[in-house]
Amino acid sequence: MAISKARQSQECVEDPLAAEERAFRQKRGHLLRWYEGQFVALYQGRVVGHGPDDEELARGMFEKFGDAPFYIVRVEKEPTVYELPSPEIIR
């Protein structure tokens, strides 16, 4: 059974946020030299903003790009892991 070209191209399209995360991992060494301790925003694989406050950076990115998918991450040697308690179900 043949798969149409349109369906094949839809299956090959990567999630936009996953593509930005992959771009971050690829650029991580360079980003550590320039932006360590700051938040960076990536859009279409490029750094389009940076700063110490992720919420302020996100506001600026929404103003600049609207609802387009962009990726904001803190540039650190060792990623910070947050452990959050899971919510309990109250009966």
Reference 68, options 53, 48, 91, 85; nearest CA is 48
* pLDDT tens-digit series, residues 2-33: 555 555 555 557 798 899 999 999 999 999 99
Distance of alpha carbon 64 from alpha carbon 59, whole angstroms: 9
- CA dihedral over 82, 48, 50, 77, signed as positive or negative: positive
pLDDT confidence of residue 90: 59
Task: Assess if residue 41 is contained within a domain.
Answer: yes
Domain hosting 39: range is: 13-74
Say which residue, 35 or 9, is predicted with more confidence: 35
pTM of the model: 0.73
* pLDDT tens-digit series, residues 49-73: 999 999 999 999 999 999 999 999 9
Q: Name residue 43's beta-bridge partners.
A: 46
Task: Assess if residue 20 is contained within a domain.
Answer: yes
Domain count, the chain: 1
Task: Assess if residue 46 is contained within a domain.
Answer: yes
Q: What are phi and psi of 31, to 5 degrees?
A: -65, -35
Which 3 state secondary structure label does DSSP give 41? Answer: strand
Task: Assess if residue 88 is contained within a domain.
Answer: no
Task: Assess if residue 85 is contained within a domain.
Answer: no
